[in-house]
Amino acid sequence: MSVREDLLAKYSSKVYKNREKHLVQLEDVTNPQEIAANKRAIPGVMTARGCCYAGCKGVVLGPLKDVCIIVHGAIGCSFYTWNTRRNKSKADENSKGQNFVPYCFSTDMQESDIIFGGEKSSKRLLMKRWNCFIPTVS
């Protein structure tokens, strides 16, 4: 039995059927294999991969601690990027105890905001956050 078959044998029959084409074995392969899970995500469908924005926010903005990151968009975008974040940094001695990573700030844009720009909701949220936290970037 191959390593792949041994691994798949531990699953139930339903999971086995679903995962069978998602695993390939690189050693001792006689015919070329393609990973069936290597497909593009369908827009509007939540996946473990996330979207381009979620990836950028996690990689680029994730390590920042002493800034308030405000998402001017739908609440789902904010929640998904906040909930799946991998950089759960902690405040250090240089940040004077300020760590805004646990917070998820969003203007919660609705359809009318998207059509008309949502500047009022954006300004309102900025003023609220400024009054609460007054963050400093070092």
- The residue ranges of every structural domain in the chain are 1-39, 52-133
Percent of the chain whose predicted confidence (pLDDT) is above 70: 70
8 A C-beta contact, residue 129 and residue 70: yes
pLDDT band at 47 (very low <50, low <70, confident <90, very high): low
Amino acid at 51: C
pLDDT over 80 at 1, yes or no: no
| Mean pLDDT of all residues belonging to the chain | 74
Helix (H) or strand (E) holding 106: strand 105-106
pLDDT over 60 at 101, yes or no: yes
- Which residues lie closer than 8 Å to 104 by C-beta, 6 or more apart? 71, 78, 79, 82
CATH number 3.10.129.10 is the correct assignment for the domain at 52-133: no
pLDDT over 60 at 136, yes or no: no
Which pLDDT does position 138 carry in this prediction? 40
Helix (H) or strand (E) holding 131: helix 119-133
pLDDT band at 95 (very low <50, low <70, confident <90, very high): low
pLDDT over 60 at 25, yes or no: yes
Measured distance CA(114)–CA(99) in Å, rounded: 30
Q: What does each C-alpha distance from 98 to 19, 44, 101 come to in angstroms?
A: 44, 35, 9
CA 100 to chain centre: 17
If one compares 82 and 11, the residue with the highest pLDDT of the two is 11
Say how many C-beta atoms besides its own lie within 10 A of residue 92's C-beta.
11
Average pLDDT for 83-105: 67
